[in-house]
Amino acid sequence: MRAALFVTCVNDALYPRTGVAVVRLLERLGVAVDFPAAQSCCGQPQYNTGYRYESEPLLRRTAEALAGHPYVVAPSGSCVAMIREHYPRIGARAAAEGRGTELADLAAGLVPRVYELTEFLVDVLGVTDVGAHFPHTVTYHPSCHGLRALGLGDRPRRLLAAVRGLDLIELPGAEECCGFGGTFAVKNPDVSAAMGADKIRAARATGAEVLCGADNSCLAHLDGTLRRAGAPLRTLHLAEILASTDTTATATEGKHPR
């Protein structure tokens, strides 16, 4: 099987380790990975801040760059939710404004082929034990878009629970938003910081070594809050834990992941 990686702009520029982890993980599971280099950003920052017209060229670019790939995998529930939930809306609005069906057609062509990483692993590949080894205590924060817009359910937890050596500790109030919210983090910094502080308080109280998530934008907010507080807890994207094996675990152990 072949799959195209939609790495997302945040991961490309700031968290390449997550992209590398997805490539290694999928290859280990027998999937040949393509990286269409014309891809960039899904347009979510523009769209979610109210700049729908600015998001349209990015919809077009994303759909065209990922055309022809039967499976597109992205390690971000938020970006997948943007494509699945909002691309059709953007297309419909453009058509309603008398600008033709091009964007709607591009959206309709892309949506059924796009999978969030845990969906692809569990639903398409049919695996929950990906052969990972990660001998640490981990608590998992389900990001809102993956949780509610995509309905990922217990897929991430099932994948984590099957990792050898991993001790999964439930995060109290896990389903509460961490306060990132894209431009919300800078438009409403006080509320955002208060929410982040509450989230890391809950995560630290679990005593886990690692706070795991499946969206690096939320993790950037939480990691930045943790480091400002000087807290010993570290954040890690789910893909990096799933990519970790007996051999890689010893190599990264003890080192800060970023």
- Report yes or no: 156 and 174 within 8 Å, Cβ to Cβ: no
- Any contact of residue 9 with other proteins (CB under 8 A)? yes
Whichever of 86 and 155 has its CB closer to other proteins, that residue is 86
Q: Please, which residues bridge with residue 114 across strands?
A: 72
118's enclosing H/E stretch is: helix 117-119
Please pick, from the candidates 12, 102, 167, 209, the single residue that binds other proteins as defined by CB under 8 A: 12
Size of site (CB under 8 A) for other proteins: 72
The residues that bridge with 169 in the sheet, in sequence order, are: 139
- Ranges within 158-197 binding other proteins (CB under 8 A): 175-177, 179-197
For residue 25, give both structure tokens.
């993980």
CA–CA dist 177, 207 (Å, integer): 20
Which is nearer to other proteins, 64 or 209 (by Cβ)?
Answer: 64
Among 57, 70, 112, 172, binds other proteins (CB under 8 A): 57
Q: Does 11 bind other proteins (CB under 8 A)?
A: yes
Q: 102-110 vs 87-96: helix axis angle to the nearest 10? A: 160
Nearest distance from C-beta of residue 187 to other proteins, angstroms: 5
For the record, the structure tokens of 69 come out as 């790939």
Residues in 59-78 that interact with other proteins by CB under 8 A: 61
Among 113, 133, 158, 227, binds other proteins (CB under 8 A): 227
Q: What is the DSSP string of 152-212?
A: -TTHHHHHHHTSBT-EEEPPTTTTS--S-TTTHHHHSHHHHHHHHHHHHHHHHHTT-SEEE
CB of 197 to other proteins, least distance (A): 8
Site string for other proteins, 23-52 (x = CB under 8 A): x---------xxx-xxxxx-x-xxxxxxxx
Candidate ranges 113-121, 139-147, 156-164, 239-247; the one touching other proteins (CB under 8 A): 139-147
Q: Which is nearer to other proteins, 16 or 100 (CB)?
A: 16
Site for other proteins in 93-122 (CB under 8 A): none
Q: Does the protein bind other proteins through residue 144 (CB under 8 A)?
A: yes
Which residue's CB is nearer to other proteins, number 46 or number 244?
46
Q: Does 1 bind other proteins (CB under 8 A)?
A: no
55 versus 166: smaller Cβ distance to other proteins:
55
DSSP state at residue 135? -
Neighbours of 96 (CB within 10 A): 9
Quote the longest CA-to-CA distance of the chain.
Answer: 58
Q: Contact, 32 vs 18, CB < 8 A?
A: no
The Cα-based distances of 168 to 136, 212, 233, 241 in angstroms read 9, 10, 15, 12
Q: Which is nearer to other proteins, 96 or 126 (CB)?
A: 96
* CA 125 – CA 30 distance, rounded (Å): 10
